[in-house]
Amino acid sequence: MKIISTLLIGCFLCTCWNVSAQKEKRKEKKNKQKSEVVVLSQKEQYKNTAQFIEAVKERLLGNYGVAEQLLQEVLRTEPTHDAAHFEYANILIAKHQLQDAIVHVQTAIQLNDTNIWYKIMLGDIYNMTENYTESEKLWKTISEKHPENIEYLYNYALSLIYQNKLKEAVKIYDKIEILTGINEDIIYAKQNIWLHLKDIDRAVKELEKLIEAYPKEAKNYLQIADLYNTNNMSDKAIPYIEKAKTIDPTNPEIHIILYNYYLSNKKNEEAFEELKQVFAAPSLKLDEKVKIIMRYFPLVNKNPEYKKEAFILLDTLTKTHPQEAMTWSVYGDFLSQDNRLEEAAAAFEKVLSFDQSKYVVWEQYLSILVDINQWDKAYTESKTAMELFPNQALPYLIHGMMATYKEEWETAVQSLNEGKKYVVDNINMALQFYYHLAEAYYTLQDYKKSDEYFEKYILQNANNPIVLNNYSYYLSQRGERLDYALTLSERANKLSPNEAVYEDTYAWILYKKGEVEKAKEWMEKAIKHGGDTDPDILEHYGDILMKLGESNQALLYWNKAKELGKDHPQLLEKIKAAKQE
């Protein structure tokens, strides 16, 4: 309550002063329009002050709607309450109503021109609205009234920079430098301006100030050398590099500058030697090294020399930063591009031992495990990825695929059905889910579901011969929709002619339809195209021959199938029956 009482006294005194002032004005200038002054009773003053304090509290709590209503009430009662206008402007800024905020903060300034915070807010809003002309005028006025305030001078300089009045901005930075002495931030700001204006000599002169102030700092010499290197003036860089080497011969930054120097002078061998030193320096940031090595990425498959250099640097990187996930991630990317997939898998495994949070690494790792037939590991690792990234489809797909290879059909169906929920705008991945679900359901003898997913696949892509072949073969095995199965198989053979497996399926459907002679013709094609080493095809050929009454030939092919490892009871029974004829 003491705070409120103090504020009340302040408000009361201000009100009394305003009333007295108005009386004086009326005496002196009766013809002048009377100013609008609201005289509040003590009770009204108390209520208004309490509402204002409550409004500020609500704004600070983020309750802008409540605060706005309170401030509107304050300003209805007392339109000349400058602090209320200022607080209202704060709320309007938070609501991104910047033009309205300008009106209120300008009103606050008109009511109380001595409050610097009102002017600072107005300057900030001008910058937000990109009204840099007004911003410049304001900060110029403020800095002239407060010539030793560095922050105001900074804002004045920025308002000039926003308008591309760069040389004028330099003059303001010079004023700041007089106040602060040699300051790196100011030096670099002016250097950047001169570089933007393509005035290299003046940019160097700014950096020379740092050398004068700190002659034993090697980095100051290296900055000038780097500036010359990057502006095709590398001949001027050497004296500064040599001076830096004298001051701090073990400074690894020297190798970066020399690398750029040799590179700009097309001395590639010398540049690479310096680059090796850069990669061997533990103190240099890994991020910077990664930026350099990634320049090689699009080149390694085009130029054997670049590939050699890249892997020398990568080997160095793994020795210098062996405990960093990024090291092994980059190494894995290069190994993968070079088709050294087993080594890439090992590299990505290293990444995951340090950091399991990057999904893209899991995606690369799991895909490579599948490619190199490490299916057991792909099965277990995809399970981990599913738990870490439950809304990503690929781990479910790979887990489902690996479950089918392990003949864990129920697990496969569960993973695949869950994973397909997370496929978004990726038809190729959706098709993978459909295909593997179709195969899993077929093995589980849920033929309705199997057919449903085969049909979904074909509806999106009728040009995959594997899918067409498998679906048509499964239909023939069940003796269902044989005409449709024949159409699918015919398309598979057109898409991929002279494939023994596809020709065998077509022959088998014809056999199931009773077109045995045509079936024999197609089966002979299959035998010719490599089917003589496939026990399934040989058995099918035997069945067709037996149907045609060629029992001796049938027995011959059944025995060949048996010799190739097919010895299921039905085949053995057919062989036994044929021998007894």
Write down which residue in 232, 263, 284 finishes a domain.
Answer: 284
Q: Please tell me the distance from the alpha carbon of residue 227 to that of residue 208, in angstroms, as a whole number.
A: 12
Residue 22, pLDDT above cutoff 70: no
Q: Do 105 and 91 form a contact (C-beta atoms < 8 A)?
A: no
* CATH number, position 269: 1.25.40
**For residue 390, what are the contacts with CB-CB under 8 A and spacing of at least 6?**
none
CA dihedral 281, 287, 288, 290 (to 10 degrees): 90
Q: Do 119 and 129 form a contact (C-beta atoms < 8 A)?
A: no
Residue 107, pLDDT above cutoff 70: yes
Residue 510, pLDDT above cutoff 60: yes
pLDDT digits (tens, 9 = 90+) for 361-391: 999 999 999 999 999 999 999 999 999 999 9
The gap from C-alpha 533 to its chain's centroid, in whole angstroms, comes to: 50
pLDDT average, residue stretch 406-410: 96
What integer pLDDT is reported at residue 14 of this predicted model? 37
pLDDT digits (tens, 9 = 90+) for 331-365: 999 999 999 999 999 999 999 999 999 999 999 99
Does residue 17 lie in a domain region? no
Residue 175, pLDDT above cutoff 60: yes
* CATH number, position 529: 1.25.40.10
Does residue 407 lie in a domain region? no
In a 10 Å sphere around its CB, with 0-12 CB exposed, 13-18 middle and 19+ buried, how is residue 187 labelled? buried
What integer pLDDT is reported at residue 37 of this predicted model? 58
CA distance from start to end of the chain: 117
Q: Is 581 or 62 the better-scoring residue by pLDDT? A: 62
Residue 178, pLDDT above cutoff 60: yes
What integer pLDDT is reported at residue 334 of this predicted model? 97
Write down which residue in 240, 269, 284 finishes a domain.
Answer: 284
Backbone angles phi, psi at 116, to 5 degrees: -65, -30
The answer for 550, left when phi > 0, alpha when psi is -120 to 50, beta otherwise, is: beta
Q: Please tell me the distance from the alpha carbon of residue 254 to that of residue 169, in angstroms, as a whole number.
A: 33
What integer pLDDT is reported at residue 38 of this predicted model? 67
Does residue 232 lie in a domain region? yes
Does residue 527 lie in a domain region? yes
Secondary structure (3-state) at 80? coil
On average, the pLDDT of the chain sits at: 90
Does residue 264 lie in a domain region? yes
What integer pLDDT is reported at residue 292 of this predicted model? 93
Name the pLDDT band for 581 (thresholds 50, 70, 90).
Answer: low
Write down which residue in 229, 258, 284 finishes a domain.
Answer: 284
Name the pLDDT band for 571 (thresholds 50, 70, 90).
Answer: confident
Residue 26, pLDDT above cutoff 80: no
Residue 23, pLDDT above cutoff 50: no
pLDDT digits (tens, 9 = 90+) for 411-449: 999 999 999 999 999 999 999 999 999 999 999 999 999
Q: Please tell me the distance from the alpha carbon of residue 528 to that of residue 507, in angstroms, as a whole number.
A: 13
Task: List the domain range (segments joined by +) for residue 261.
Answer: 216-284
Name the pLDDT band for 33 (thresholds 50, 70, 90).
Answer: very low
Neighbours of 542 (CB within 10 A): 26
Residue with tokens 């079936």: 519
Q: What percent of the chain has pLDDT over 90?
A: 84
Q: Please tell me the distance from the alpha carbon of residue 92 to that of residue 109, in angstroms, as a whole number.
A: 17
Name the pLDDT band for 575 (thresholds 50, 70, 90).
Answer: confident
Q: Fill in the DSSP letter of residue 421.
A: G
Q: Please tell me the distance from the alpha carbon of residue 332 to that of residue 346, in angstroms, as a whole number.
A: 8
Residue 165, pLDDT above cutoff 90: yes
**For residue 109, what are the contacts with CB-CB under 8 A and spacing of at least 6?**
82, 115, 118, 119, 122
Residue 162, pLDDT above cutoff 80: yes
**For residue 104, what are the contacts with CB-CB under 8 A and spacing of at least 6?**
85, 86, 88, 89, 92
Residue 166, pLDDT above cutoff 70: yes
Does residue 383 lie in a domain region? no
Q: Please tell me the distance from the alpha carbon of residue 262 to that of residue 264, in angstroms, as a whole number.
A: 5
Q: Please tell me the distance from the alpha carbon of residue 337 to that of residue 306, in angstroms, as a whole number.
A: 14
Residue 7, pLDDT above cutoff 80: no
Q: Among 185-189, 326-330, 465-469, 547-551, which is the least confidently predicted range?
A: 547-551
**For residue 469, what are the contacts with CB-CB under 8 A and spacing of at least 6?**
488, 489, 492, 501, 502, 505
Residue 245, pLDDT above cutoff 50: yes
Helices (H) and strands (E) in the chain, counts: 32, 0
Q: How many residues does the chain have?
A: 581
Dihedral sign, Cα of residue 263, residue 269, residue 274, residue 278: positive
Q: Among 9-23, 174-188, 383-397, 465-479, which is the least confidently predicted range?
A: 9-23
What integer pLDDT is reported at residue 17 of this predicted model? 32
Does residue 114 lie in a domain region? no
Q: Provide the token pair at 352.
A: 């995951």
Number of domains in the chain: 2
Neighbours of 140 (CB within 10 A): 16
Does residue 318 lie in a domain region? no
